[in-house]
Structure 1
Amino acid sequence: MAAILEDGKLRLSGYVGDYYFEDGFTSGDVVMALAQIDDADPLTVFLNSGGGIATEGAAIHALLSARKGKTDIVIEGVAASAASLIAMAGKKVTMSAGAVMMIHDPSGYTAGTSDDHKKAIEALEALATAYARVYAMKSGKTAEDCRAIMKEERWLTPPEAVSEGFADATTETAAEPVAAFDYRIFAHAPTALVDLAKQKNWSMSTKPAAPAASTRPAEEPSMTDKERAEQLAAENAKLKTDLAAATASVDTAVKADRERRAAIMGLEEAKGRETLAEHLFNTGSSVDQAKATLAVSPKAGATDEKEEEEFQPRRMNAQGLNKTPLNTKPGDKATARAVLSASVDRLNKRR
């Protein structure tokens, strides 16, 4: 997973989807990241991707565009193919110095009958039309103009992207190294990126050959954009439901604990034994357990009669004279002397 959220910044790097390179991010990853922040909070997305699955790019663009809070996007290194569509979700799109943006028509592969190929063409045309509308909304161009640019496969420098309306600003900050991708699969990729892919051996030769913006993985041929959006909405709803259930569980536990404390402290046996009752609550005793313990425990502050009964046998051998009297705090010598003095006075009166 290469979708990392930290301090209000979301970093999306690598392949769009999970079909080719393991180093990538999916719409599910973005859902999980966005669930960690308030929907109204501002968010800056740092994007560095050579592209990937077209429908994944559309889903991620929809997620970012639907946020209530302001979402800005900074392109570091490269935003090509499906990643360039994600960039269009930014209220402000900033390209780092030396970064590259690429816009082209989505493409894919099929196997089967002529009807299968016809269905693939229909799907690609629908996806290309949807992409063109997104580019048009950001740039202010018409959808037809954007589709023409897509068919040309345009690679844009930061000033060119700003001039065409696909970006809003550039910075003097040098771009991050471009994300790993086999740029040789594109028809008009810059020579520098093609050479870099060769040097780094960024190859898809071990996988079925397909352009970056394939319509969908082969294992999901029947999933439409609408179905994918519904699936994401269901996942998001489940996350919210699970969170609500966890919160309700905590609230129930807190309420039950408060009721147990109130019941223990309200026992008749707790009168005069409040400190012990509080201790029994804190140690997890049930109401019945606390009641049984309190019933056989002496109350705080013994009666004068009990003190006199206990004092007589103790005074013969000085038992307890060096101990703190009952219901006094350790170290409270003044209280201890007062209790002892009172006991001596009562003893003298009886003589």
Structure 2
Amino acid sequence: MTAATPMPGAPRILRETAAGLTSIGIYDEMLSRRELALIGEVQEWVSFELCQHLLFLERQDPAAEITLFISSPGGSVSAGLAVVDVMAAISCPVRTVCLDRAASMGAVIFTMGDRREMSAHAELMIHDPLIQQGAGGSALAVRETSQRLMETRRTMSTLLAERSGLTLKRVQSLTAKDTFLSAERACELGFADAIISSRKEAAHA
């Protein structure tokens, strides 16, 4: 689910125009503020729409920051890497915000942000790529699948190592199993930059 494809029943807002009151989808309003959302599983169509919106916002203003809100259990590695590549290719800085959970490929996309923030109770989950259900075949086919999986593992762990400052060996020790990281722990390890602070507390400070 992206900012371009709202969920059924997504909220709408009223805006006064010269023609009177106009109902606008909240995701259209977000797009006008250079805000995108990756909600749910990372799939090919989600990746395509997200990439198109990143490129569209770059054409609008090559220097202005884009904010990408993430709440995702992960999904397709190839689809996720397409988003990672576009984030790296565009000139705009991309701020990523983990709302509640960014897991697997969702966590990798989150860590690619130029500015990475997490809600106070959000968490990341990182792990090695998994064999797809139904994978099998001859011994040679299984060996080739295993080799490709190891190549993908190295690609993913290298990205996480580069973005966190941890060694590749340290990252792979974390991704060898499902590793859940609180916002505080993610910041300590270099996978996030900051925890979103309360505006209420700041207003009364």
Q: TM-score, normalised to structure 1's length?
A: 0.46
Deviations 1:129-168 (CA, angstroms, capped at 9, x unpaired): 0011110111101112111111032100000000011000
Residues 6, 116 of structure 1: alpha-carbon distance in 2 compared, 3 angstrom cutoff: farther
Q: For 2:100, which of 39, 64, 77 is the aligned residue?
A: 77
| Structure 2: gaps (5+ residues) | 5-30, 199-205
CA distance in 1, matches of 2:85, 2:178: 23
Q: CA deviation at 1:172?
A: 3.5
1:93 to 113, 116, 119: 116
* 1:196-275 mapped onto 2 (5 Å cutoff): none
Superposition misfits of 4+ residues, deviation over 4 angstroms: none
Shift of 1:33: 1.2
Structure 1, unmatched stretches of 5+, are: 19-24, 174-351
Deviations 1:15-48 (A, max 9, x none): 0015xxxxxx532111221232225231111111
- SS of aligned partner of 2:119: strand
What percentage of aligned pairs have identical amino acids?
27
Tell me the residue number matched to 1:42.
65
1:215-252 alpha-carbon deviations (Å, 9 max, x no partner): xxxxxxxxxxxxxxxxxxxxxxxxxxxxxxxxxxxxxx
SS in 1 for 2:131: coil
Work out whether 1:60 is the aligned partner of 2:60: no
Q: Which residue of 138, 149, 162 corresponds with 2:187?
A: 162
Correspondence list, 1:292-303, <5 A = none
Bigger helix share: 1
| 2-structure distance, mates of 1:124, 1:70 | 31
Separation in structure 1 between the aligned mates of residue 152 and residue 91 of structure 2, nearest angstrom = 26
Q: Does 1:113 align with 2:133?
A: no
- Counterpart in 1 of 2:39? 13
Are the counterparts in 1 of residues 58 and 91 from structure 2 also a CA contact under 8 Å?
A: no
Structure 2 matches for 1:271-350, cutoff 5 A? none
Q: Could you say which residue in structure 2 is the equivalent of 1:302? A: none
Residues 256-279 of structure 1 deviation map (CA, whole Å, 9 limit, x = unaligned): xxxxxxxxxxxxxxxxxxxxxxxx
Tell me the matched-pair count: 168
Contact 2:77 2:105 in 1 (8 A): yes
Matched AA of 1:80 = A
Secondary structure of the equivalent of 1:93?
strand
Tell me if structure 2 keeps the 8 A contact 1:61–1:87.
Answer: no
Please state if 1:27 is matched with 2:47.
yes
Secondary structure, aligned partner of 1:74: strand
* Distance in 1 separating the partners of 2:180 and 2:107: 11
Write the distance in 2 (CA, Å) between the matches of 1:46 and 1:137.
22
Q: Higher Cα Rg: structure 1 or 2?
A: 1
Contact 1:46–1:76 (CA under 8 A) maintained in structure 2: yes
- Distance in 2, Cα, partners of 1:15 & 1:52: 5
Residue range with higher mean Cα deviation, 36-45 or 152-161: 36-45
Is contact 2:2-2:36 (8 Å) kept? no
2:114 is paired with a residue of what secondary structure? coil
Q: Distance in 2 between matches of 1:73 and 1:142?
A: 23
CA positional deviation for 1:61: 1.1
The aligned residue for residue 151 of structure 2 is 126
Q: Is the counterpart of residue 135 in structure 1 residue 137 in structure 2?
A: no
